Amino acid sequence: MLANAIIQIGLFLLLVTAISVPLGHYMARVFAGEKTFLDPLLKPVERLIYRLGGVHPENEQTWVEYAVSMLLFSAAGMLLLYGLERLQGWLPLNPQALGAVAPDLAFNTAASFTTNTNWQAYGGETTMSYLTQMAGLAFHNFVSAAAGIAIAIAVVRGFIRRNSKTIGNFWFDLTRATLWVLLPICVVMALALVWQGVPDNFAPYVRAKTVAGAVQTIAEGPVASQEIIKELGTNGGGFFNANSAHPYENPTPLSNLIEMLAIFAIGASLTHTFGKMVGDSRQGWVLYGVMAILFLTGVAVCTWSEQRGNPMLARAGVNEIASASQSGGNMEGKEVRFGIVDSALFATVTTDTSCGAVNSMHDSYTPLGGFIPLLNMQIGEIIFGGVGSGLYGMLVMAVLAVFIAGLMVGRTPEYLGKKIEGREMKLAMLFILIFPLVILIPAGLAVVLPAGLAGISNPGPHGFSQILYAYTEASANNGSAFAGLNANTGFYNVTLALVMLCGRFLMKVPVLALAGSLAAKRSVPESAGTFPTNGATFVILLIGVILIVAALTFFPADALGPIVEQLAMRHSHLY
């Protein structure tokens, strides 16, 4: 059991590493506009998109223009999705004749998919038509991911450009990310998922006459095409209510492996894209190392806790001990084909990044096992992270780390040849502070307002965890859930939508401003007093800063939820 866990997790990280280096270098070429092997196929499509869209990709933008383009594009897509949801009853590709989505739920879902959160207050197969799923939801899976990558690239340009007013062109970055990165991988891997059993059709739901003589209605749909971008774009919104636990979304351990690799692929690769762009691959490896260490720590704790199981079940006569004929452990909310290891691994992967797809129900995890996904999000989803947002989030933490190092030795801090001064620190701190602000204040409100308390489905400290988890995932744009929380209410739909929008756009704008500010600076030559950021010392410093910031911010809240519940469970206290 232990050997298999170590081999599976080790092999997984090895595969991520093996994919990330070539993919990272490839992306560096894509965003520099250099030649790639896909050019003969994609160049004509790219030109067509620019012509139809009225885009002049050679026009460089300042950070303000870049941010405005990004915001307008997001607003247009959000309106389109809202419209599709409200009108789906009259539109084609709706064999189940599903009616209009209620206004508050439609608003929540539009905000959710525009912000790359993919929080779902609905069940896919009972709410959304095939057209809404593909043209509304899958479209956002692509472009919200592409926009994230675009911004990460713009931020890296801020570090490498000197005395420059501009940081690139949003439309160019967006189109290139979609065409050269997301689409080709999706086409190949979607078919691999179909091979494993993920359906992809436009048929009405199947009525099966079961062996026991009942009727079973089986939901169908264009699942595979949406499934792969849901993982690759770290979106996470399931086609079905049960997300990647549903056998149609994730039928085998092999499809599970493909999905987990897709979740990490781009976030991991961007560290090497970054290394390549700044001309020092070790800078990229430092960030990769920090991420890998935090990932392994999380997955180890989560797997251990889930395998250990729930002592109260053991007392009720349940066998939770792993053997050759069962995985054992805490199997409530988990699938037999994934067992404990693949469930805990998936839960860690999906919350290290801003994905939020789930192949097991986090609400039913042991308190400590469920604390890891929560903590991963509270750290800011920078452990490989959301596509793009993981890299720029980590770069902001790196800026904070060199600042703290500078304070300790009394020198003006530098990072990648750029002086970090007052303006940069203000923007970095704005980025760091908005995040907990839009978690803790609304969560605090929800636990005192009747409308908030009404959503709780598990009594005791777990109920508080459900609320804390909901606002954390919304601000972190994750979208996984302690899904027992009844969140399809006016109160939760509106507050969570606002938190998602703040968590996405109030953080993207300061980070673009930071990029603009850095790009305008000249580069200072390295000197004997420069703190080296491409070695092991910086790895340790960066991990320390990340953990201290998260702990100082969230420990009091966490103590009231998962921490106290873990103590209660070990002492067999029920609620």
Among 88, 307, 327, 389, which residue sits at the site for another protein (rule: CB under 8 A)?
Answer: 327
Q: Tokens representing 512?
A: 């673009």
- Residue 333 touching another protein (CB under 8 A): yes
- Of 282, 332, 49, the C-alpha closest to 175 is 49
Give CA–CA dist 9/250, Å, rounded.
Answer: 19
Phi and psi dihedrals of 527, rounded to 5?
-130, 180
Q: Least distance (Å) from another protein to the CB of residue 230?
A: 13
Residue 471 touches another protein, criterion: CB under 8 A: no
- Interaction with another protein in 536-555: which residues (CB under 8 A)? none
- Specify whether the CB–CB gap between 113 and 144 falls below 8 A: yes
Compare residues 475 and 566 and give the one whose CB is closer to another protein.
566
The neighbour count for residue 50, using CB atoms within 10 Å, is 16
Nearer to another protein, 85 or 320 (CB): 320
Residue whose C-alpha is closest to residue 172's, from 59, 313, 290, 259: 59
Site for another protein in 73-132 (CB under 8 A): 73, 75-77, 80, 123, 125-126
Looking at the Cβ atoms of 199 and 237, the one nearer to another protein is 199
Minimum distance from residue 354 beta carbon to another protein (Å): 19
367 lines the binding site for another protein (CB under 8 A): yes
Footprint on residues 497-516 left by another protein (CB under 8 A): none
Reading the block at residue 193, the tokens are 């998922």
Q: How far is the CB of 100 from another protein (least distance, A)?
A: 19
Stretch near another protein under the rule CB under 8 A, chosen from 23-31, 148-156, 202-210, 538-546: 202-210
Contacts of 37 (CB under 8 A, 6+ apart): none
Among 200, 280, 489, 491, interactor with another protein by CB under 8 A: 200
Nearest to residue 198, comparing CAs of 116, 141, 254?
A: 254
Footprint of another protein on residues 229-248 (CB under 8 A)?
229, 240-242, 245-248
- Establish if 480 lies at the interface with another protein (CB under 8 A): no
Neighbouring C-beta atoms of residue 185, cutoff 10 Å: 17
Contact between 378 and another protein by CB under 8 A: the answer reads no
x/- map, 32-71, another protein, by CB under 8 A? -------------x---x--xxxx------------xx--
- Alpha-carbon distance of 308 to 304, in angstroms, equals 6
212 is a contact residue toward another protein (CB under 8 A): yes
* Residues 132-161 contacting another protein, CB under 8 A: 134-136, 138-139, 142-143
Between 100 and 567, name the residue whose CB sits nearer to another protein.
567
Closer CB to another protein, 253 or 426, in the complex:
253
In this complex, which beta carbon is closest to another protein, that of residue 4 or of residue 537? 4
* H/E segment holding residue 218: strand 215-218
Which residue(s) pair with 18 in the sheet? none
Instruction: Return the number of the residue (7 or 524) whose C-beta is nearest another protein.
Output: 7
Distances in Å between the Cα of 284 and the Cα atoms of 296, 395, 512 are 18, 11, 20
| Binding residues among 407-466 for another protein as defined by CB under 8 A | 457-462, 465
* CA 165 to chain CA centroid, nearest Å: 31
Whether the Cβ atoms of residue 149 and residue 270 lie closer than 8 Å to each other = yes
**Stretch touching another protein by CB under 8 A, among 28-36, 191-199, 268-276, 537-545:** 191-199
In what helix (H) or strand (E) does residue 348 lie, and over which residues does it extend?
helix 341-352
Q: Between residues 97 and 574, which has the closer beta carbon with respect to another protein?
A: 574
Beta-bridge mates of residue 218: 206
174 binds another protein (CB under 8 A): yes
- CA–CA gap between residue 496 and residue 483 (Å, rounded): 14
Q: Could you give the CA distance from residue 486 to residue 492 in angstroms, rounded to a whole number?
A: 8
Residue list 347-366, contact with another protein (CB under 8 A): 358-361, 363-366
